[in-house]
Copies of this chain bind each other. A is one copy, B any other.
Amino acid sequence: MTKPAPLFNRLALIGVGLIGSSIARAARAQGAVREIAASARSAATRRRVAELGLVDQVLESNAAAVAGADLIIVCAPVGVCGEIAKEIAPHLKSGAVVSDVGSVKGAIVRDMGPELPANVHFVPAHPVAGTEHSGPDAGFAELFVGRWCILTPPAGADPAAVERLAAFWRALGANVESMPAVHHDLVLAITSHLPHLIAYTIVGTADELGEVTRSEVLKFSAGGFRDFTRIAASDPTMWRDVFLANKDAVLEMLGTFNEDLAQLTRAIRRGDGDALFDHFTRTRAIRRGIVDIGQDSPAPDFGRPHPDLPAEPLPRPYATADDK
């Protein structure tokens, strides 16, 4: 079966970390673009991207990367996207689609929008996918398969440009949905930003206790704690910017969370077992909903590998049943 024509001639990636390098791998694997140029701020990243052979051209200058590109995706922390937009603006090809992958969209619209010329199509995007690892080595082509990519086209955006970007993300395996930036920021505040804040908090709490040592926390983490550490291992720069950029929505969700936590705390203090049981039964159903729609693995433990039982019976230098 022949591959269909590429959706874009030249893709420019500004930043080649986990997300940028996954886009490069997936876009190539699917023939979604003819060529890929990429720029990265750090020399180490540029060297590594070149070694891995992820793109056709690795450049130091963002301006050079976007020259002639008809799709530009800024894959950088939210806090520097406005600055990057300003830097690339004079070098953009007329009619190009300019997008990003930021986890906050209101701030992107506010910071990037005004910097871009009127003759390009600005369509912010957020692929809701990632892992706890960072950098060009961490990416993989399947990262977006079955995940959602949310587009937040500003009012008056060209429907054809929006559809071309949507088609690009679908080619990478993603499901695509559009919504206003402000709604995106509320949805992600509860499904992503607040969970990260809570995870970052509890992992920090566990690390500072006087009564329980760090070694004990690590050893006995399989009781639940380790599930929090995965998301508390996400990229610190990216997450600093997310919380600064989506402050209002995060603080709002945090307020609701605090009320709910106070209520469960009260149930514990009063020994109200029925209230606890009802709450825990309800949350179990939500897990089932996520697994049912394919947004998480149905395998127990996220499908974590469980090593085999010891093959050689252990020495038993003590009384056994036969000694009795």
Contacts and interface: CB of A to CB of B under 8 A. Distances in A.
Contact of A223 (B128, B217, B305): B128
- Tallying the copies of this chain within the complex gives 2
A290 B226 contact: yes
Main secondary structure of the interface of A (DSSP, over half): helix
Contacts of A240: 273, 276-277, 280
A275 to B, nearest CB: 9
A295 interface: yes
A196 interface: yes
9 tightest CB-CB pairs across the interface, nearest first? Answer: A192-B223, A233-B287, A131-B300, A236-B280, A302-B302, A195-B224, A5-B322, A142-B306, A232-B283
A245 B148 CA distance: 41
Nearest to A189: B212
A304 interface: yes
A68 to B, nearest CB: 12
Given A219-B148, A224-B231, A290-B229, A269 B251 contact: yes
A103 interface: yes
A214 interface: yes
Given A190-B209, A204-B264, A243-B268, 14 more contacts: A9-B321, A31-B313, A133-B300, A143-B306, A147-B222, A148-B219, A167-B314, A208-B260, A218-B290, A226-B295, A251-B265, A254-B261, A299-B305, A301-B302
A212 to B, nearest CB: 5
Interface stretch (A51-59, A82-90, A170-178): A170-178
Interface in A239-267: 239-241, 243-244, 247, 250-251, 253-254, 256-258, 260-261, 264-265
Q: How large is the interface on A (under 10, 10 to 19, 20 to 34, 35 or more residues)?
A: 35 or more
A180 B308 CA distance: 30
Contacts of A204: 260, 264, 279, 282-283
B212 A190 contact: yes
B229 A318 contact: no
Contact of A284 (B128, B214, B236, B319): B236
A187 interface: yes
A308 B145 contact: yes
A297 B131 CA distance: 13
Contact of A277 (B237, B256, B289, B305): B237
Given A170-B314, A204-B260, A4 B191 contact: no
A4 B192 contact: no
Contacts of A324: 9, 70
11 contacts: A4-B315, A128-B223, A129-B222, A167-B318, A172-B309, A186-B211, A205-B257, A209-B253, A232-B284, A240-B273, A241-B273
